[in-house]
Structure 1
Amino acid sequence: MKNIHYLIIAYFSVVSCIREAPLNPEADIEEFKIDGQFLSSSTIIDQANSKILIYLKLDAYQSGVSLSLNLSQGATIIPASGTLVKFDQPVFYTLQSESGENQKTY
């Protein structure tokens, strides 16, 4: 009987320590991909200044490009990845972290 009592105490001690993982607080664009035919140089993500530098050929400005974005786990972005974007004026991407704690605009 004593062993069962110790086993029950050990079980509840272990179970009470397990918690769900917290939601991710990061809101970053980790990768910004454009079809290479539209680029004249490499894409640069400047995390410190929240800027993305892309060097497009003239065709990309005229027709627009569809971008593929890799984000921090669970983050959401507006405009969404895959949206056709024309760069005739600055484009702003707004991210919200999975936890909702952080927001970042590129």
Structure 2
Amino acid sequence: MPPKYKFEIVTMDSLVFSAEDVESVIMPAAKGYLGVLQGHTPYITQLSSGDVTIKKDAASPVNDAEWSVSGGFAKILPGSVTIFADKVEEKRVHKDEKHTQK
């Protein structure tokens, strides 16, 4: 089983989504979709509009959460990924995840 990391989506107003045990995130970077697994090189990227998919099991065909973002940037560090989004809209979130949306 691959190591897991912390993932958050935040806006200027609030923490929108947080999960401690994520294996895979796919996000709409400025030059195309970017997939992130644990051990990814530290990186900061601008985001475009599109869907963010979060998986606790990278091999699973089912996404644990899906969000639509519009603009912002992502910060990828060892052990964590944070999306700072201009706008966020919930598409689907597994009932066990912690999220608040304004």
Whether these two folds match at TM > 0.5 is: no
TM-score (normalised: structure 1): 0.29
Higher helix fraction (1 or 2):
1
TM-score by length of 2: 0.29
Q: Which has the larger radius of gyration?
A: 1
